[in-house]
Structure 1
Amino acid sequence: MEKNAKIYIAGHRGMVGSAILRKLKSEGFTNFVVRTSSELDLRDQASVRTFFDAEKPEFVFLAAAKVGGIMANNIYRAEFLYDNLQIQNNIIDSAYRNGVKKLMFLGSSCIYPKLAPQPLNEDSLLTGVLEPTNEPYAIAKIAGIKMCEAYRSQYGCDFISVMPTNLYGPNDNYDLNKSHVLPAMIRKFHEAKEENKPVVELWGTGSPLREFLHADDLAAACYFLMQNYSEAGFLNIGVGSDVTIKELAELIQKIVGYEGAIHWNTDKPDGTPRKLMDVSKLHALGWKHSIELEEGIRMTYQDFLQKIETYAV
């Protein structure tokens, strides 16, 4: 990518998109085209086509998506499937129709079968049943991968796909009804500390294992891959190690400074037992993460504190 190349970041105000925008700006890129969801409804095909026809971006980062944790995925199953299919279909097709030089589609580790061998290798896609709690979102993301592969095969488009592990960082969503586990814990422990609550209730048993990648590391990986990767197969992006949800909770509890107890509500679902990414292909290309979990959570907690009024109950 040339420094004056016109770059469209779909989802530039979200955690992932904003991290990519920060990274590109730090590398000297200046020619960005962005739209908020109120300015451009990515679910509307005609609007997306009009936008691409007018702006003619050269490079596209497809980071826009409807996302959420276990509760949101379970409640809004139709929206998670429909909205995400519409968003990615419209952008990928319009990118092709307008001669975009390169597009990166960002997926999710939930594309893998619930009981796939660990660590999750790219070859495990479509080899088993998905985790039911996030199946609609996973199916949409799998469709996105296959669409990029199909447009590459049929039309010669340089469209690539990457599958990040669980993400966290600045501009995360701390809404307890829609957020992922790490930001939800940050908010729960902070509010319990402020309100002197003796106990914080968390879902499940605490035994599932999860891998966490800071959004700034993901952005660095995306920038690296846009310059160094151009293959049909998708790539995992992660750190290559994981922690139990219980260990994560205790780490966040320490960082926030909450001194009460944790109650694990075992009537609530755990989700997938483990989701550790095999990142050997990414490492072989020459990229590794640089932000370790404790450092990353401390930075994220500071981001939360700066936005605390936004998340007040």
Structure 2
Amino acid sequence: MKASPLLVFALVVVAGLAWGLNAPVSKVLYAAGGGALFDGVTLAVARGFWSVPIFAVAAWAVWPRGRSIAVADAGRLAWLGLLFGPGLTGLYAVASQWTSAAHVVLISGLTPPATALLESALYRQPLRGRAWLSIACGVAGVAVLSATRSAQGSSLQGDALMLAWIVIYALFALGTRELTTRFPSAFVSVASTGLGALIVAVAGMLAGVGGAIAHPFVAPHVAWAFFGEMVVALGLVGPIANVMAIRRSSATIATTGGLYAAVATGLIAAVALVHEHLTPDVLLSGALLAASLALMFASPAAIRESEG
């Protein structure tokens, strides 16, 4: 389904806004109540708990009617749930606490080249020269970020967590792509992320760190930030806008546009909401990571991977 470029642009921007505000809004929530309401772990648990109802309704809507799910595929969905819940949700939340929002946003832009590199290693598919150049630019960008401590509140530990997050994202992306050869993409996305939210919520409560589940209600601005971004934007608005953009253009346009919009949104919000100071090193790193993203999506192999 093709649509006007303006509509596609709007959808891409909406998805990018949802993704890009994650780290800055997390920082705002960590600072709320004098820093006593949330940390990385408890924020992930609270987000998982309040996201379960949304994913439950969505799963009912997209459940493949009239067909059974093989035990092996159910196991693959559970594996994706583990990757998304403790991995993507949990690590991102803790990394956002430990390092600057600018670093989190910029490093997350490494997901396309990292996914291509992992795919090449697992399936023994050689990468083209442009893909290797993309990876080199990405590594250089992260090296500048980590070596120079180029943003206020940054740390090597937080940056390292984001690099681990990148690896988990690549595993999640490849696992998702494999399942979408047999099931609708909407079902795979909702089922895996919903399971992830449920796993984080249940594990958190069993571990005794579920006390922050009620904390979003302590003040109106906390509720707006938490439910607006952590639950509605990340769980509903961003994914829907991304799927609509893909259906009206292509996976390549939607993904690369959304990532660029997310990086731009995250950097602006890091300054406006968290009052971080972006040094020339941040701008240099951002330019290198933007070049990495552009080179990856200009690569025919990467385009095939994105649209697969």
By relative contact order (CA 8 Å, sep 6+), the higher-ranking structure is: 2
Q: Hey, which of these two has a bigger chunk of strand by percent?
A: 1
Pairwise same-fold verdict (TM > 0.5): no
TM-score (norm 1): 0.29
